[in-house]
Amino acid sequence: MATERQLAEAGLADPREGPQRPWFRIQGTLDAQMMWYAVMRKATRGVYIGALCIRHSPHHASLLAEGWEEVSVAEVGIGDARGPAPDADTTFWSR
């Protein structure tokens, strides 16, 4: 999982078109802050799928019950390169 800003800074995203495969946009609000929202992932068919949901909501609880895991702020980034902590006006991508 990475933010669009992190992908652009690493040269993996075109400013107009965004990142290309294998990166996929996680659907969610464009002003998500990780204080209120949880970035979730689940391994399926050899790749991770991602979701964004409000923390402590029924949807968050149902994803956890279905085997999804929450991605910590420290894990959001590209490989070992950790960018700045995700902030408002962030679009998340899953690889």
pLDDT tens digits, 16-42 = 888 888 888 887 766 666 678 888 999
pTM of the model: 0.71
Residues above pLDDT 90, as percent of the chain = 18
Give CA angle at 52 (65, 38), nearest 5°: 70
Residue 81 CA to residue 53 CA, distance in Å, equals 25
Quick one: pLDDT at residue 65? Answer: 97
Predicted confidence (pLDDT) per residue in 83-95, tens digit: 445 554 466 667 6
Quick one: pLDDT at residue 82? Answer: 47
Pairing of strands 92-94, 18-19: unpaired
Q: How many residues are there in the chain?
A: 95
Residue 53 bridge partners (DSSP)? 38
**Does residue 57 register a pLDDT over 50?**
yes
Mean pLDDT, the chain, rounded, equals: 81
What H or E segment, with its residue span, contains residue 14?
A: strand 13-14
